[in-house]
Amino acid sequence: MSSFERVAGIDEIPNLGRKEVIIDDEIPALLLHVDGIYYCVEDVCTHDGQPLTNGLLAGLEIICPRHGARFDITTGEATALPARRPIRVFEVETRDDGIYVRGDE
């Protein structure tokens, strides 16, 4: 099982902000802050492999900037075409000294 790794300071990401991180030394991911809760998703659209980095955050969905596919950041589920497959989501813990994410098991 993969362990948690610290990816950000507790006040580093403003509300509705994001930070690009690398999980398990190889997986590009986005750490997202929405209304006091942190989410972490793989930074790759399952439709065509493009990064979601600059995608609009609409509520709890991230929109791929290339073709408009949408993904639920809580489950990874694809919620709008052209994507059909989900993106990976990673477990997040908020601790006194920072934000931690657990990679793949």
Longest dimension (CA), the chain: 40
For the record, the structure tokens of 1 come out as 């099982």
Domain ranges of the chain: 4-102
Is this structure's pTM higher than 0.75? yes
Is 2 within 8 Å of 24 (Cβ atoms)?
Answer: yes
Q: Which CATH number fits domain 4-102: 3.40.50.1580, 3.40.50.300, 2.102.10.10, 2.30.40.10?
A: 2.102.10.10
pLDDT, block means (10 residues), the chain with 105 residues: 89 96 95 97 95 96 96 98 97 97 83
- What integer pLDDT is reported at residue 105 of this predicted model? 57
Sign of CA dihedral 80, 71, 43, 59: positive
- What integer pLDDT is reported at residue 101 of this predicted model? 98
How far is Cα 46 from Cα 86, in angstroms, rounded to an integer?
7
How far is Cα 60 from Cα 66, in angstroms, rounded to an integer?
19
